[in-house]
Amino acid sequence: MGKAVLLPAMLMVSALAGCVSETVYLSQGRKTGEVMFQPSQAALTRMNLGLEYLRRGDTGQAKFNLERALSQDGRNPDIHLALAYFFQSVSDHDKAEQHYRQVLQLDPQHGDGLNNYGAFLCDRERFDEADVMFRKAISVFGYAKVADTLENAALCALEGGQSEAAQGYFQRALEYSPNKPRALLGMAGLELERGDPVFARLYLDRYRQRHSPSAQSLWMTVRTARAQGLESEAQQAGAELVHLFPDSEQARRFLTHDY
């Protein structure tokens, strides 16, 4: 099925109006304003700025602002999570893991922290440890991204050669969110690998009803159609694949008949 791509949960970047608050009180019959600096809000503003720089590819300014945020509020797990994501992005794996562990030391029930640490561990091929993190994230009360984490757990299980576990995770993800694209394509791929193109086609049809074509979905359509003896349909899907995604690995495999 190809290498799984795990997606970290999106970091929460809240819009903050500023870093100060103004308290107004009465003094001898007059209103007086007292401006108070709030380091925790300043830290979040710095964190947001650092993540925006990282999104733009300016790692120097990203690091500067994220470390300033940490110096202003070192007990905020979200700031450690942002730094973990930064260091993971620049392949400094030791520092990334230090910050992931700090997130969970400060808040053992941090759903995004558990999910993202799981994705990090899976990328390092530490599959059993990753699965533990994903299962912990799923069990966090009130965690809103359960379907995303189940998808990640499934893709990681595939990376680790655990297809049955992957199927279970994909099915659970679809119970939470029936139109999850990676789960639909994942289940289609598993059915195809098991030699059941009919069920694979059912998942692909569900994908097509809700989502735009991707290189993966078109390539899977090619393979499913060929498995059913529908060569004209396979060629049509392959032509669309080459037209829409000419530089993809899937297009290369179609053109070289590497099925």
DSSP per position, the chain? -------PPPPP------SEEEEEEEETTEEEEEEEE-HHHHHHHHHHHHHHHHHHT-HHHHHHHHHHHHHH-TT-HHHHHHHHHHHHHTT-HHHHHHHHHHHHHH-TT-HHHHHHHHHHHHHTT-HHHHHHHHHHHHHSTT-S-HHHHHHHHHHHHHHTT-HHHHHHHHHHHHHH-TT-HHHHHHHHHHHHHTT-HHHHHHHHHHHHHHS---HHHHHHHHHHHHHTT-HHHHHHHHHHHHHH-TTSHHHHHHHTT--
Checking if the pLDDT of 39 tops 80, the result is no
**Residue 29: per-residue pLDDT:** 52
Q: From the CA atom positions of the chain, what is the Rg in Å? A: 23
Residue type, 28: Q
pLDDT band at 36 (very low <50, low <70, confident <90, very high): low
Token reading at 177 = 């969110």
Checking if the pLDDT of 20 tops 60, the result is no
d(CA 84, CA 89): 8
**Residue 13: per-residue pLDDT:** 43
**Residue 38: per-residue pLDDT:** 74
**Domains in the chain, ordered, with CATH?**
37-100 (1.25.40.10), 108-177 (1.25.40.10), 181-259 (1.25.40)
- Asked whether 255 and 243 are in contact (CB, 8 A), the reply is no
The percentage of residues in the chain with a pLDDT greater than 70, rounded to a whole number, is 86
**Residue 81: per-residue pLDDT:** 97
**Mean pLDDT within 88-98:** 97
**Mean pLDDT within 125-153:** 97
**Residue 41: per-residue pLDDT:** 85
Checking if the pLDDT of 10 tops 50, the result is no
**Residue 24: per-residue pLDDT:** 44
When comparing pLDDT for 102 and 31, which is higher? 102
Please state, rounded to an integer, the average pLDDT across all residues of the chain: 89
**Residue 133: per-residue pLDDT:** 98
Cα dist from 90 to 59, 70, 72, whole Å: 8, 18, 23
Which positions ≥6 away from 120 have C-beta within 8 Å? Answer: 8, 84, 88, 93, 96, 97, 100, 130
**Mean pLDDT within 59-75:** 95
**Residue 22: per-residue pLDDT:** 45
52-62 pLDDT tens trace: 999 999 999 99
Q: Give me the sign of the Cα torsion angle 118, 121, 127, 133.
A: negative
Tell me the whole-structure pTM to 2 decimals: 0.84
158-189 pLDDT tens trace: 999 999 999 999 999 999 999 999 999 999 99
